[in-house]
Amino acid sequence: MASERRGRLDGKVAIVTGAATGIGEAIAHTFVREGARVLVCGLVDDPVDDVVAALEKEHGAGVASGFSGDLSDEATAEACVARAVKAFGRLDVLVNNAGVFLFTGEVQDYDTDAFDRTLRMNVRSVFLMTKHAIPHLQKSRGVVLAAGSEAGSIGIGMNAPYGGTKAFIHSFIRGVAHEQAKYGVRANVVAPGPIDTAWTHKESGPMNAKMEKTNVAATPLGRLGTAAEVANVYAFLASDEASYVTGAIYAVDGGITIGKGPVGEEATRAAKRQPDSELALEHTHDGLRNKDYDSAL
């Protein structure tokens, strides 16, 4: 049955890239719950149709549409933006969430092909989607949001190139915020720390047991964040409540960027408990399914 609830994104249209799994799936669900219509974007092998079906089952027909393709290809990125405008008549929010975490290892052991794919998926796709969305966002005085990372601020050992791509996003989006402000377009970064998705578990990604344990130990709150917790910050920044926020980097990282040593081990049991979520997420840990990833560790 369609939901009657309207929220702070009522009437807005959003493109969410990487929206079929992990944090992106949570963003899509949260945005629709808050009243937005969403173009759910993912790669060809991602469960895009599943997410669209779940959104329409919960909130009614027409709240979501799907788009599958590699957004690091310019023609595909341009077609993605055009699809959103054709389907919903306008564009208010671009969420550059898509990205990859494909390899772990020291620099001398880092696979060059994985490096090239990481640059293409994490950097080129963000540039191209932003480039083609901006003309529409200028018309709506809209918002560009992008997935940074605590690794973009402080680096990350055993996947230094990944941290480098996120540092680019931090700087790029701030530059976009500066130049596009005169058109009324805002641009901000959401920088997650270790989140409970495919990327942070050795069973579903390239991290090993040591990295998995260190992630939690180095986080003052002593736990992984949830995809829903990150999505909540995106919803705020996409809304008119954040009308005076631009060029900002919002850390959603449990304090890992200020952590010193294994501080997470000192967290109480209550602090370590993940909050419950009402979002009907089915693909939180599927972000690397059907994708090539490896480790030299």
Q: Which residues are catalytic?
A: 162
At a CB cut-off of 8 Å and minimum separation 6, what does 40 contact? Answer: 16, 19, 20, 28, 48, 51, 52, 55, 64, 65, 66, 67
Contact 152, 163 (CB under 8 A): yes
- Residue 261, by phi and psi: left (phi above 0), alpha (psi -120 to 50) or beta? left
Which residues share a beta bridge with 192?
252
Q: How many CB atoms lie within 10 A of CB 243?
A: 11
Triad 216, 220, 226: Cα angle to 5°: 60
Contact 122, 146 (CB under 8 A): no
Quote the CA–CA distance of 118 and 234 in Å, as a whole number.
Answer: 23
